[in-house]
Copies of this chain bind each other. A is one copy, B any other.
Amino acid sequence: APGVVKSSEELNAAIAAASPGDVITIANGTYTDMEMRFVGQGTEDAPITLTVEEKGKVFFEGQSNLELSGQFLHVEGLIFRNGHSPTSEVISFRTSKVEVCNNCRVTECVIDNYNPAERFDSDIWIALYGKHNRLDHNYLTGKRNQGVTVAVRMDTEASRENFHRIDHNYFGHRAVLGSNGGETLRIGTSHYCMFNSNTLVESNYFYRCDGEVEIISNKSGQNVFRGNTFFESKGTLTIRHGDEVTISNNFFFGNGVANTGGMRIINAKQKVVNNYASGLTGYRFRSALTIMNGVPNSPLNRYVQVTDSEASNNVFIDCDNVQFCVGSDEERSATPENVVMANNVFSNKTRDKIFSAFDDISGITFSNNLISPNIVPLQPTGFQNKELTFETLENGIMIPEKTAAGDSIRAGLDLMATPENTGLTWYPRQEDEMFFNTGKTIDVKPGQNTLWDAVRDSEPGDIIRLSESGEYQQTKSIDLTHPVSVVAADGLSEKPVVTFRRSSLFNIENGGGLSLRGLKIDGKEGEDKPLNAVIRTSRYSMINNYKLLVEDCDFVDLDVNHSFNVLRVAKNTMADSILLRNCRFENISGSVLALDRETDDIGIYNAENVVIENCLFDEIGHTAIHVHRGGRDESTLGPRVTIHNSTFDEIGGDKRNKTGTSILLWGTQYVDIDKCVFDDSAPLKLHLVVGEPVVELRNSVLSGGTTLEDNGEPYQVNNLKRGLTEPLY
């Protein structure tokens, strides 16, 4: 029988020689560029096993992957990290189009941040083909590129009605992708959605799976989702295609985190029962419960009408939105039919209006839904205001007492996924968030490249403090590969002045982040060529999202040549958040924020959250704030843009400003402009294209000929003063 193997050659030999019952053991160590192909015929009683000498001590790095085919194969204990698959899948349950797996199991494997450098080089971490396979107790964390984490593929007959079981996996943090293709689990595709998959998805834990609007995208029939837990995940379990799907006894914990959602329902004969949701804040596609409108006689890849379905015995505690007929428009005009909603419980401490209907809901029969006394019923019948009492369990779940729904939740508790009963124990779980100001403070004095030297010597989270007023001149660009803060010391009489001679001062490279406070950035020494920037992202795709926080800073005289920006981003980079607060931007030949590089117009964008507060923009040549999300894809609910208490004066007048605007928000999903002044500027333009964006513009002034342009889509305007005859400044 094969023993311990130490190389690709030995592994291949052992696989070739393996008989039912054999165990192939990979020796401890790190294997680079190892492409494993595990083909074998085990039996139900005597599977062929591929395992490791010691769990947690066998690593596959570089461009490694695993393909397997045959039957009764068992894989256990592999760790993929520090690299990415050379093919489009890391673990594939097939070795060719026709050689697939049946009755195979992959358990206790780890895939940890195993991503290509390119954000939109898409791949799938685990792809199931064939039938009756099981994927369980794996730990899959840090997928950052496009492509679903786990997919059930159904592209041949041999992979349909497959009865796979996906259970007790722990899905770690998946960062916002800013595009379609960020699902954590997908079952089927629209091509084959008329077939049944019969996959059971049970007791998996989803920890902050924020990739896109669909955490799970169901695209086939007769699947069952039960006992799964969704922790602070910014998306929903979506039945996108496929009929006769059951969603039961799942648990959604939003904890008030923005954009957390529950379940979104499309298609026919769906059953949504006994689920528990609390603290979900999402709206529209990310509501706690979303029932969509369909397209009449929909093609398979559009939206099939919701019919003959049921949503009963579910409990919603402190969830902001439950929405019906979502997506209603000229195309999606088929309202739900023969849908029953009964015995659900809705309780909300702070919000009275949680229900919305965007079209005719007469096809939904509501009965005996209990709502807390403050909640406004969706309609007179089928809803009953009632003071509810709750039993709060140890895990924080609030069971509404003496209700059918409460009883059914309680009955499902033993199925509930927890961090403890999912994944595996022998590999550390890490949170891979980026934090500022967690490290040491490094004091720096004025001089040439003193700041550059300090950043070179810094560690993640360090604070570099400019201890005196005076000039900090950089003849070299500062590359940031981890989060760093650069701040003025307290109590200085004047802001420290930072100047720079290269085409950029700070470069946020992959893994980097920047927080600035109390500085004056002067562009006078900049290289005499176009397209300089104070801060730029990596010119390469960044697989990590970044954060940029700027407070109490002045940016002046960025005008040595044309198109000098404050921030210049590259295609395929993504900011989780950009904050500008209490800043002054003056005499700048380019843009302040140019988040406009995703010109392919397929729904990708460059920043999720942009917040501008109490800033002054004066004499900016190009569009001061340009946020672009092109195309009509509905997979995301960003970018979100907030601009408060800010003044824009003489913006966008440069002859090279192609957009001809002072602010251009194209395809943004959420906009809140409040208490702002726009004077002597090119038009402020809102181009609203997809997803019924939430846009509000209020308490603001447009003067000096500044106009507001839009593309005819609706948005909110309150207390907007236009065309004042006197300039304000």
Binding site for B on A (CB under 8 A): 86-88, 96, 118, 121-122, 146, 181, 189, 191, 448, 475-476, 501-503, 527-531, 539-541, 563, 571-572, 599-602, 658
Contacts and interface: CB of A to CB of B under 8 A. Distances in A.
Given A527-B88, A530-B602, A600-B563, A118 B448 contact: no
Contact of A600 (B448, B501, B531, B539): B531
Contact of A448 (B96, B191, B530, B602): B96
Contact of A502 (B88, B528, B602): B88
Contacts of A448: 96
A539 B572 CA distance: 10
B602 A531 contact: yes
A475 B530 contact: no
Given A531-B600, A600-B563, A87 B475 contact: yes
Contact of A540 (B189, B502, B540): B540
A154 B475 CA distance: 18
Contact of A501 (B88, B601, B658): B88
A121 B503 contact: yes
Contacts of A539: 118, 540-541, 572
A600 B87 CA distance: 34
Nearest to A476: B86
Contact of A503 (B122, B476, B572): B122
Contacts of A96: 448
B528 A475 contact: no
A119 to B, nearest CB: 10
B599 A599 contact: yes
Given A121-B503, A600-B563, A189 B87 contact: no
Most chain B CB within 10 A, of A146, A531, A540, is at A540
Contacts of A87: 475-476, 501-502
A118 B448 CA distance: 24
Contacts of A475: 87-88
Contacts of A181: 529
9 contacts: A87-B476, A87-B501, A88-B527, A189-B528, A530-B600, A530-B602, A539-B572, A540-B540, A599-B599
Given A530-B600, A599-B599, 5 more contacts: A88-B502, A122-B529, A539-B540, A539-B572, A601-B658
Contacts of A531: 600, 602
A483 to B, nearest CB: 23
Nearest to A92: B475
A190 to B, nearest CB: 10
Nearest to A529: B122
A683 to B, nearest CB: 21
Contacts of A600: 530-531, 563
**Ordered nearest first, which 8 A-B pairs have the shortest CB separation?**
A87-B475, A86-B476, A540-B540, A530-B602, A87-B476, A88-B502, A88-B501, A118-B539
A529 B148 CA distance: 13
A529 B529 CA distance: 38
A211 B539 CA distance: 23
A527 B120 CA distance: 12
A96 B473 CA distance: 11
A65 to B, nearest CB: 10
Contacts of A476: 86-87
A471 to B, nearest CB: 12
Most chain B CB within 10 A, of A146, A539, A572, is at A539
A658 B631 CA distance: 12
A478 B86 CA distance: 10
A533 to B, nearest CB: 12
Nearest to A531: B600
A69 to B, nearest CB: 13
Contacts of A529: 122, 146, 181
A531 B601 CA distance: 11
Nearest to A602: B530
Nearest to A452: B86
A545 B501 CA distance: 28
A178 B5 CA distance: 53
A448 to B, nearest CB: 7
A448 B99 CA distance: 13
A211 to B, nearest CB: 15
B527 A122 contact: yes
A58 B122 CA distance: 45
A387 B634 CA distance: 78
A234 to B, nearest CB: 22
Nearest to A475: B87
A359 to B, nearest CB: 28
Contacts of A530: 600, 602
Contacts of A118: 539
A247 B291 CA distance: 80
A189 B529 CA distance: 12
A263 B146 CA distance: 53
Contacts of A122: 503, 527, 529
A124 to B, nearest CB: 10
Contacts of A541: 539
A121 B572 CA distance: 19
A503 B88 CA distance: 9
A601 to B, nearest CB: 8
A602 B476 CA distance: 24
A87 B476 CA distance: 5
A98 to B, nearest CB: 12
Contacts of A86: 476
Nearest to A89: B475
